[in-house]
Chain A
Amino acid sequence: MVKGAIISGIGGTRVGRITDSDSLSLQRSAMMAALDDAGLSTHEIDGVICAYSFTRPHLMLASWFSEYAGLHPNVCFAIQSGGATAAIMVMQAASLIASGVCRHILLVTGDNRLSGLSRDGAVAALSEIGHPEFERPYGVSVPASYALVASRYMHEFGVTSDDLAGIAVAMRRNAARHPGAHMREPLSIADVAASRTIAAPLRLLDCSLISDGAAAVIVSRRDALPGRAGSDIEILGYGQGHTHEHIVAAPSLTEFGCSTSSAIAFDRAGVAVTQVDIAQIYDSFTITLLVELESIGFFGRGEAGAAIAAGALDIAGALPCNTHGGLLSHGHSGAAGGMFHVVEAVTQLRGEAGERQAGSPRLGFVHGDGGILSAHCSLVLGRT
């Protein structure tokens, strides 16, 4: 168990189209909200971890952000692991706290990839994740790569297109309760089925959104925050699993690194998957969430679809999951998309989620995946 690393502050902007926004200013907004939440000032931050930005690609984003925001940290770097980035940032911060290197680490993510890039520009930029020699000449996109996984997973486990649609519907139902979500209008299975095909079997509403937004988290040493009232959210466990980057080189289209990353995280935390009260799991596509839920062990193979259709992921369900609406409906603003999963987990564990509060959870699970189910990082968070 990792002792002593707590999440002391969380902050996020609303998510959607934020006109006149900029990657750096969005991130600063999230930082200020997280500092206010933690009751800390900028000079107390001695570590800064940033991610990446499509609209402001830079070799030293963490240094630039620190300069821009007036931070003078002792530890400062950026992480690029696609959708696993946010969870990896939390894992790295917990390690730096546990080893005594830092006291208060700011993790900040954000991008204006909707207003700062055209939709075509964002899709084209994302397609560069494909292998330059052995994938991109064939017109591969991120959705097409996930569609390949979906085709195989559906073939082997009897998952249907309606099972996938049910995930989009469930995420929308959750997002409707979040005032800052990008998409809140109700959605039906028929709406998903009628949305245009992007890469069969995935349709438009099987795909996450392209959004502007930013989220920040502060990870602190527990003893660096004396006299705090209320309960803190502790980082109890973390783990990673990496099997490939390109889907052509994936050892399997049904077994991924999430099995390994979650097993390590649960083991480190000394808990079992059955003890998890709430989960915030990467949902770049409907198939992403289905594969991860079944691979991590929340459901048996081929069983998640029916359970989700019956409301398993709703706030009153057996496993309240992506209670903010996830990347599919709350929004996807790059690395911030994954950080919002962390923010939502903390919000739920604190009992501060208002009308979307899912009971009184004590143990939360967060999972991020980058690439084409390539890079995985799992976190176990607990209310102490």
Chain B
Amino acid sequence: MDTQPFSKRIVRPLAVLFLIAALTFIGFNSASRISNEGLFHIVAVVCGVVHMICVVFSTAIIYPVAYRRGAGPGERILGSLFVPVAWIVKEFIVVTGVYTLFESLYYILNPVNIFILTLALLQMGICELFGRRRRKRQGEDIRVFAVPAALAIVVALGIFSFLLWGIGVYSFYAFQEGYKAIFGFGVGV
């Protein structure tokens, strides 16, 4: 497998994805300024869906591209997480407008963020297996099954079963209980 330069195997695909995510974020949040209701809805839906795909399925996009271009496991993982983490950081910054720094840091652990990161983990496991199968088909002497990839899938499915229990209600209350355990009944209420 040829290894392409760092800029090609990681930076370029990431830059493209990040740019699309940023533009669609702006589009989604500005759409309501369009006075024509039909156009507002079209722009909102298109931008919203594309933005969501960029954040939620970032791994499914970046990981295989990076894999094919010769990126190592560390690069593949970090590259896959870049856009979701950027989104989480954006959320964190917004939350600091209402809550203290430490409350905002705890906010990072909310079920939606965990869901996104878990989905990334699941995609990594699946993409890794597909990548290995592709290489084997191309004639490389490599085992398709890899313990870390299988483990990632199993762990992700386990976390999902908790996150989705009761349509997400229980994980939300677990998050809130954690907050109360750390911050009591709220800071500055």
Co-complex (A, B):
no
